[in-house]
Amino acid sequence: MLQNRCTTLKCVRENRNRVGEPMLVVCGFLSLLVAPGLVESQSNSSGAPATPPPASPAAPAKRDTRPIDDFAGLTFTDDQKARIAQIRENAKLRREAVIKNERLTQGQKNVTLEGLQRIETSEIFKVLTPDQLAEVRKRITARRAVEQQVQQSKQAAPAPQ
């Protein structure tokens, strides 16, 4: 009886972690978007007009630096094309909202945009067939291997004196 209970609790804990981590990431991104507005509304309860926050630097938002689109070259069905187009359109609207949000610092924007990129990719993964997933994973593995070799060659090169 005791062993069955421990095994059950272990399974519950593992399942909670599987669901909890993605939810934690999503909640973190949402809090980055909502928290500045909550703090501003609480701190300005005197009724005086709010002073606008200082404008963030005009530096463009950090773009995805992947050299290749991992989904390029795959053959999609019409249904997949429509669903991926909708996912990308929604992601584009979210990115634009983050970029236009003047309450966020540039660092907060960069972190949020990276998270939105991960969310977009995971949503597209859900649309792919198992064969397409295998192909994309193979491409990602190859790209990461090349990036790792480049990183190692940079570290191995002696510093000029």
Rounded to the nearest integer, the mean pLDDT of the chain is 74
User: With the C-alpha atoms ordered 17, 19, 22, 26, is the resulting torsion angle positive or negative?
Assistant: negative
Give the residue among 70, 64, 68, 62 at the shortest CA–CA distance from 124: 70
3-state secondary structure of 129: coil
pLDDT for the residue numbered 59: 47
Residue 59 lies in a domain: no
Judge if 84 and 26 occupy the same domain.
Answer: no
Establish if 64 belongs to a structural domain: no
Res. 62 pLDDT band, cuts 50 70 90 = very low
With respect to residue 110, please indicate whether it lies within any of the assigned structural domains: yes
pLDDT, greater one: 51 or 93: 93
Share of the chain above pLDDT 90, in %: 36
Per-residue confidence (pLDDT) for residue 100, from 0 to 100: 93
Could you read off the pLDDT of 137-153 as tens digits, one per residue?
998 899 899 999 998 88
On whether the CB atoms of residues 55 and 102 are closer than 8 A, the answer is: yes
Residue 46 lies in a domain: no
- Asked whether residue 36 is domain-assigned, the answer is no
Residue 91 falls within a domain, yes or no?
A: yes
Per the structure, the count of domains in the chain is: 2
What is the band of 27 on the pLDDT scale with cuts at 50, 70, 90? low
* pTM summary value: 0.52
Residue 7 lies in a domain: yes
Q: Is residue 93 part of a domain?
A: yes
In the prediction, which pLDDT does 94 show? 94
pLDDT of residue 50: 53
111: containing domain? 76-143
Mean pLDDT of 110-139: 92
* Residue owning tokens 């994973």: 137
